A and B are shown apart, each in its own frame.
Chain A
């Protein structure tokens, strides 16, 4: 059920292309991510980085190319796709906690309905995870009663409850008030230290420097440059990356 241990890369994108009507949002994307690797995807808005992230669990379909997770090609639809998605945790920009369920129920829904765990087991594990992300005191509240930072940490716990092979973060701190960004980043950094495979779309360069193994820079639907964080931030090879960095790091 968990890992097939194929030995190859955990996430593999080969020749991925996607169009939104006329707009060619992903162009010939090749990317492979190894077990335990933390890859940060950065780039100007509209560069296709969020779309790329969302194709990995097929929240966005692709027109051309192939995506496989743990050696298994992403199915088009149906139960098999659902099963594959259950191994891929996702954290959204807008949290997307289930508004009609308590914090605890948000975390136990997947394990009980998808994994078939008992309610008692799921709740025990959920409380551990909520403890780990520092919101255990809020277990019986509803999402709207929590701050944005707390909601996003619950969203991380909800994804972790499925014991995913890889976690996708789609601009997880972009909708947060500045004083709440760090509490979420701290959880993510701890997760990276624990060896979780992570793909993180973000504007947080500090996170990229501290936690990333690799930075992928996208522009205009293409991967322009891939490098380790140190190299990327101090000596970017491409003009576009240099231009981008000069705009965001200047002040």
Chain B
């Protein structure tokens, strides 16, 4: 266990990097995914088409390829993100937003159509009906699938290791090289870092699910 105290700084900063990658990307993906879901159910065909195109592109492209494109591909068109961390956040957000959108869309479809009809009959615009009536109910039914998306995102942050972001998995590679005799302990420390994020999340998801449940 000597290596733990020797490397606590590296492990701690790697853990914080993983956590902030997950949280920042999670928030961005939630916002973008919500907008996309709204577009996918909108009465305007070009918006629907655009959102569908987006979802199909990002849902069917491996995350590593998205990383590659944002890290190296966009240089071809003279673009570059200000930092490797932001590159990783962009890749994770764009990719995860597609899954958030689809989870939310299933929730929107589960809201009885009469709810949106009643909203429109009152004179609410499509956007108002979506924000005031449909989405709040949709979110409540998709807490478990959104929880899955969040946990997948937390683990997907490990791809950033291949793109020079020193998060947990990158620290695993580094520590494993210099502590080859304590490989299992290194693994345990890194896995524990992920579990510290995902296990409380699972618990929190259950709490949120129970709290926001609506009686019908």
Residues of A that sit less than 8 Å from B by CB: 57, 59, 77-79, 82-90, 92, 94, 96-100, 109-110, 113-114, 142, 144-145, 155, 158-159, 162
Chain A's nearest CB lies how many Å from the CB of B136?
Answer: 5
Q: Given A85-B122, A110-B122, A162-B123, verify A96-B128 contact (CB < 8 Å).
A: no
> Which of A89, A94, A109 is B132 in contact with, Cβ under 8 Å?
A109
Chain A's nearest CB lies how many Å from the CB of B36?
Answer: 21
Q: Given A98-B115, A99-B137, verify A109-B214 contact (CB < 8 Å).
A: no
Contact, CB under 8 Å: B215 / A79: no
Complex-state Cα separation, A145 to B73, whole angstroms: 56
Contact, CB under 8 Å: A82 / B118: no
Contact, CB under 8 Å: B120 / A96: no
New contact pairs (14) apart from A82-B123, A114-B122, A162-B122, CB-CB < 8 Å: A59-B117, A78-B125, A82-B124, A84-B123, A87-B123, A89-B121, A97-B118, A99-B115, A100-B133, A109-B119, A109-B124, A109-B133, A114-B124, A145-B215
Contact, CB under 8 Å: A57 / B121: yes
> Which of B117, B133, B216 is A92 in contact with, Cβ under 8 Å?
B117
Interface residues of B in 103-124 (CB under 8 A from A): 112, 114-115, 117-124
Contact, CB under 8 Å: B121 / A59: yes
Q: Is B155 an interface residue (CB 8 A)?
A: no
Contact, CB under 8 Å: A100 / B125: no
CB neighbours (8 Å) of B82 from chain A are none
CB neighbours (8 Å) of A144 from chain B are 214-216
Contact, CB under 8 Å: B215 / A110: no
Contact, CB under 8 Å: A86 / B214: no
Complex-state Cα separation, A144 to B43, whole angstroms: 30
Interface residues on B, range: 20 to 34
Q: Is B140 an interface residue (CB 8 A)?
A: yes
- Name 15 interchain pairs, CB-CB below 8 A, sorted by A: A77-B43, A82-B123, A84-B123, A86-B123, A98-B115, A98-B119, A98-B133, A99-B215, A100-B214, A114-B128, A142-B214, A144-B216, A155-B118, A159-B122, A162-B123
Contact, CB under 8 Å: A82 / B125: yes
Contact, CB under 8 Å: B123 / A110: yes
Interface residues of B in 133-153 (CB under 8 A from A): 133, 136-137, 140
* Residue of B114, B120, B121, B124 most packed against chain A (CB within 10 A): B121
Chain B's nearest CB lies how many Å from the CB of A219?
Answer: 26
CB neighbours (8 Å) of B136 from chain A are 100
CB neighbours (8 Å) of A83 from chain B are 123
Contact, CB under 8 Å: A85 / B214: no
Contact, CB under 8 Å: B122 / A109: yes
Contact, CB under 8 Å: A98 / B118: yes
Chain A's nearest CB lies how many Å from the CB of B80?
Answer: 41
CB neighbours (8 Å) of B120 from chain A are 59, 82, 85
CB neighbours (8 Å) of B133 from chain A are 98, 100, 109
Contact, CB under 8 Å: B137 / A100: yes
Complex-state Cα separation, A94 to B118, whole angstroms: 10
CB neighbours (8 Å) of A84 from chain B are 123
Complex-state Cα separation, A41 to B24, whole angstroms: 57
Contact, CB under 8 Å: A113 / B115: no
Complex-state Cα separation, A152 to B79, whole angstroms: 58
Contact, CB under 8 Å: A99 / B216: yes
Q: Given A144-B215, A145-B215, verify A92-B118 contact (CB < 8 Å).
A: yes
Contact, CB under 8 Å: B124 / A96: no
CB neighbours (8 Å) of B114 from chain A are 92, 94, 96
* Residue of B123, B133, B140 most packed against chain A (CB within 10 A): B123
Contact, CB under 8 Å: B121 / A90: yes
Which 7 A-B pairs give the minimum distances between C-beta atoms?
A: A86-B123, A96-B118, A96-B114, A110-B122, A90-B121, A144-B215, A114-B123
Complex: chain A residue closest to B113, CB-CB = A96
> Which of A88, A94, A142 is B215 in contact with, Cβ under 8 Å?
A142
Contact, CB under 8 Å: B132 / A96: no
Complex-state Cα separation, A97 to B114, whole angstroms: 9
Complex-state Cα separation, A100 to B124, whole angstroms: 17
Complex-state Cα separation, A162 to B122, whole angstroms: 7
